[in-house]
Amino acid sequence: MSLTMFQVDAFTTRVFAGNPAAVLIIDDWLDDQAMLAIAQENNLAETAFAKPTGDGFGLRWFTPVHEVEFCGHATLATAHVLFAHYGATGDLSFDTRVGRLNVRRNDRCYALDLPVFPPDRLGASDPDLALLLTQPLVATFRNFENYFAVLPDANTLRTLAPDLAKIESLFPFGLCVTSPGDGPDFLSRYFAPGAGIPEDPVTGSTHATLVPYWADRLGKTSLSAHQASRRGGDLACSLTGDRVTLEGNCVTFMKAEVYLPT
């Protein structure tokens, strides 16, 4: 059996930047182990599988380690594949484990519509992130899948060299660090070594929590964000009620044929 697969760089206007994701548009779900095996073979942060439904698409995401609850950049990449390579028109809707995600295309970029996951205070049983990162923190909070640590300034965030073995102990949680921007409104970096992602280049899902945090702190609902990884990525963000919109571009890097044993 053969399947067509695309590799797309998301949240960037050029190849070799942003966050790469593999995308397969399929008629029906493969066996879970087959989808995980494809993700392991790709060895990217995420491989996305989308299948048509009545009024949109079902969408699932796999890291090289497991299926994940929520992924933003691979959703944007999937929409790009449907628009650019499958002739999709109009707005796209994806049914996922975290609800319906929507993508629309305008003259400049794609706009990804996500549910808000508000920042929650850490509980007594949560780890001390200041000790894990070995430095004072401005604030800490969490959502259903990640811990968040606010650093005092952009230089501290950009030069941070965390102990990935310690962060791996947080699995199944990842760790997002964020700070005020040095041009953009805010910066972030994201580490999930337990999921096979030592540092994610650009993470859409964390912004469903980062945007409401920084909107409250900065007193505005339209924000610019930069993920300060080696590859880097830029996001235009807005908060409207209980939804976050992230704007960004995508570029196709590769189209391939995948051969699976029958």
Distance, C-alpha 176 to centroid of its chain: 11
Catalytic residues: 46
Smallest Cα–Cα separation from 227: which of 7, 79, 19? 19
Q: Which residues lie closer than 8 Å to 246 by C-beta, 6 or more apart?
A: 72, 76, 111, 112, 114, 204, 207, 211, 235, 236, 237
Can you tell me the distance from the alpha carbon of 178 to that of 226, in angstroms, rounded to the nearest whole number?
Answer: 10
Q: Facing residues of 133 across strands?
A: none
186-192 and 197-200 as β-strands: parallel, antiparallel, unpaired?
antiparallel
Assess contact for 23 and 50: CB atoms under 8 A. yes
Burial of 261 (0-12, 13-18, 19+ CB in 10 A): exposed
DSSP SS3 for 38 = helix
The pair phi, psi for residue 207, each rounded to 5°, is: -75, -15
- Torsion-angle region of residue 38: left (phi > 0), alpha (psi -120 to 50) or beta? alpha
Residues in the chain: 262
Which amino acid, one-letter code, is at 160? L
Assess contact for 9 and 18: CB atoms under 8 A. yes
